[in-house]
Amino acid sequence: MTLYRNLTIRQKQIVWAWAFLTLPVIFYGVIRFYPTGSAVLISFQDWNLLGERTWIGADNYIQLWNDPVFWKVFKNTFVYLLLGTPVSLVLSFTIAYHLDKLRFLHSFVRMLYFLPFMTSAVAMAWVWRWFYQGVPIGLFNNILAKFGIAQIEFLNSTSYALPAVLAPAVWAGLGFQVIIFMAGIRSIPTSYYEAARIDGVGWWTVLTQITLPLLRPTIVFIVVFSSIGFLRIFDHVFNMTTNNPGGPLNATKPLVLMIYDTAFNSFNMGYATAQTVVLFTILLIVSLIQLRLLRSA
Amino acid sequence: MARQPGEDAMKWTNKTLFAGLTSAAALLGTSASAVEIEYWQYFFDARVEAMEQLIENFEAANPDVTVNMTHFPYAEYRTKVAASIPAGEGPDVVQLFYGWLNDYIEADLIQPLPAEQFPTEMIEAEFFPMVSAMQVDGDYYALPTAVRSLALFYNTRLFEAAGLDHPPADLDELVEMAGALTERDGAGNVTTVGLTTGMTAQDHHWWREVLVRQFGGEPYAEDNQTVTYDSDAGRAAAAFYEGLSSEHGVTQVGFMDEPQAAFKAGRAGMHIDGSFRIGSLNNTRGLEWAVAELPVGPTGTQSNYSSYWVNAITTKAEGERYEASVRFMEYITSDEAMQIWLDVVGELPARPSVGMTEANATHEVYGPFIRGLEYAHTTVFANESAQRQVLVDMLDRVSLQGQSLSDSLAEAAQAEQAILNEYYAD
């Protein structure tokens, strides 16, 4: 105790600061950083969860590089990103822009858009999965059949399956993005709009010269947020294709599903963690690029 | 099953009772001191209940042994078992899926069954033949209490409507009857399938162990490490299976999402599935169904696929705990235990002496499954889900990418061989 008493006030403040910080530091160390570090180690080992771990150098990474399924999955992951992010961005902005102008039943409509975000992804994926079935149970195909249009194999197709799986994922995230966009639109000072109106500027110019530029931080946030989401897409794909995970013929398989499959069906933990490290690196690079963009804003 | 509050107290009284008995026995100088062993299995209501009965019976007959059962969620199997046994904790007797046997042996988690109590000749004479998959390098490592097999479920209401009065006996009749049961709407879309198909469900077993053999082939070589279905027989079996939808139009792969869903909804005339499906079909209101043995092949060959959970003694069990574990293993693989398991869980007995009794073998629901065990095979999987995926992809390449069936089959055989090679390499 005398040791403590002899400290200066500044030193005592530091001691207290660290005392309060210990809990989160220990938590992050044990729950986040330690597993991350050991995942990197395991990626250089051969381990089936039961036996000994053996060091095999970069074999897992070499296997990954030569695995055609990995490249297919890698491509899929970026298709989810490059299709999902712009589509959800444009949709959510359009909805937010018009919803902002809507007075009648405003909060009710906003709630309708937000509901899917609060719904469990698993339940939603299964409902959409049934929507996509053929007759006699599929909603969409029953409608098509009613008009005498040929059936569309939404999920059992190498070209339609990925967009079909992506659609509910976009829909689910929409509510959140709409809310963020509306907050962004509301935070733009009205004086700009008043000045524009006095000058007699058209709505298009107002949109492109005032609203969009001032929404830039909001847009960057949503892009970062939804990009990470689409790069990590898993639950929608997993639940909509449980019988043929990531199928047909790996057409919908994202990286996270491949990791899951390698780890918990093949019990090839080393190979799975190597994939995880690759995913981690991709996420890191994408986030860093986007943060750089955010800062320059 | 949630533990009832009173249950622990009851167990405790039982234990004190047994303790009393054992001390009395000790006074008389007949029995050794009390031993406690651990039994582990995954959590499933009926399995836990059946095991509780078995433990009770065993403890009554062996008052010097106490068996503690631990159950845990299925998903935690590997981590829990793998972490605990090397640490000297965990089970003395453990239940595991037959397909994991090699992994468990390699990781030194289980030990061979003693030849004295479980001689090879006895096992081969008294158990259904597919149990031989549990023999590795001459030693038996594990034995099942209960097994599962495939059979043909059929919707009796649809059969009656189509004027059919018996289940199909062979594959030709299967196709013919399925044709009579199939219904389409005005646009030609299937609204009721004659037979459900889809490699994602049980059909990959039906194709691999039943159809390939019925067309005169073998799915794997003797050592289970070589794929041998890229043969004339394999091609014939694949052509038959693929032809069900493309040629005969009596089925549609993935109809109503899942085959069992189509059958449950009364939109499928016939459905090949495992004995584990009985329970959920029993609970389906308005569905009238019956079971038949799988149809025989073109040359009259019968075959079936069987899978099972086995019990094994872990490397943790030593000394008197080992002795007690062996006795427990003897009991849970006995005729009595198998009958209890059939009655409580609805899984089939692994011994013909129980299965082929008059009452069981002619049982209208269990009978066809049990009779199928006599000619059932067990696939020694390296990675079941990956090997199933190979067959799923084989058909997808044909239907979605227009690859020829024989090329696709060759590619599948190669892909599956790669999985086996990688597994047996280390």
Say yes or no to pLDDT of B5 above 60.
Answer: no
Domains and CATH numbers, chain B: 5-148+307-377 (3.40.190.10), 150-306+380-425 (3.40.190.10)
Test the A interface: residue of B81, B97, B257, B408 with most A CBs within 10 Å: B257
Q: At what angle do helices A139-146 and A121-131 cross, to 10 degrees?
A: 20
The pLDDT, as a whole number, for residue B21 is: 44
- Give domain A68-296's CATH superfamily: MetI-like (1.10.3720.10)
The pLDDT, as a whole number, for residue B319 is: 92
Rounded Cα gap, residues B383 and B371, in angstroms: 28
At A68-122, the pLDDT tens digits run 999 999 999 999 999 999 999 999 999 999 999 888 888 898 889 899 888 899 9
CB-based contact, B201 to chain A, within 8 Å: yes
Interface of A with B in 143-202 (CB under 8 A): 145, 148, 150-151, 156-158
**Residue of B79, B198, B256 with shortest CB distance to A49:** B79
Say yes or no to pLDDT of B15 above 90.
Answer: no
Contacts of B193 (CB under 8 A, 6+ apart): B178, B181, B182, B250, B251, B252, B255, B262, B267, B268, B269
Q: What is the ipTM of this complex?
A: 0.84
Cis before A248? omega within 30: yes
Which pLDDT band, with edges at 50, 70 and 90, does B7 fall under?
very low
CB-based contact, A288 to chain B, within 8 Å: no
CA dihedral B264, B268, B269, B270 (to 10 degrees): -80
Test the A interface: residue of B108, B256, B314, B391 with most A CBs within 10 Å: B256
Of chain B, the end-to-end C-alpha distance in Å amounts to 40
Instruction: Give Cα separations from B91 to A51, A103, B113, B312, B329 (angstroms).
Output: 17, 66, 16, 10, 13
Which pLDDT band, with edges at 50, 70 and 90, does B25 fall under?
very low
Residue ranges covered by each domain of chain A: 2-42, 68-296
At B325-381, the pLDDT tens digits run 999 999 999 999 999 999 888 899 999 999 999 999 999 999 999 999 999 999 999
The pLDDT, as a whole number, for residue B268 is: 96
CB neighbourhood size of B129 (10 A):
15
Q: What is the mean pLDDT of chain B?
A: 89
Instruction: Give Cα separations from B369 to A26, B45, B355, B376 (angstroms).
Output: 56, 22, 10, 10
Strands (E), B199-297: 268-274, 289-292
The pLDDT, as a whole number, for residue B10 is: 40
Q: Which H or E run contains B380?
A: none
Say yes or no to pLDDT of B3 above 90.
Answer: no
Chain B residues near residue A135 by CB distance under 8 angstroms = 185, 189-191
At B212-227, the pLDDT tens digits run 999 999 999 998 899 9
Q: Which H or E run contains A177?
A: helix A161-186
The pLDDT, as a whole number, for residue A251 is: 95
Question: SS3 of B147, please?
Answer: strand
Say yes or no to pLDDT of B85 above 90.
Answer: no
CB-based contact, A9 to chain B, within 8 Å: no
Q: Report yes or no: B150 and B354 within 8 Å, Cβ to Cβ.
A: no
Say yes or no to pLDDT of A297 above 80.
Answer: no
Size of interface A-B (CB pairs under 8 A): 80
Q: Which pairs from B130-139 meet CB under 8 Å and 24+ separation?
A: B130/B306, B130/B373, B130/B376, B130/B377, B130/B378, B131/B308, B131/B350, B131/B378, B133/B98, B133/B101, B133/B378, B133/B380, B134/B98, B134/B101, B134/B310, B136/B101, B136/B102, B136/B105, B139/B112, B139/B113, B139/B115
Say yes or no to pLDDT of A132 above 80.
Answer: yes
Chain A residues near residue B82 by CB distance under 8 angstroms = 49-50
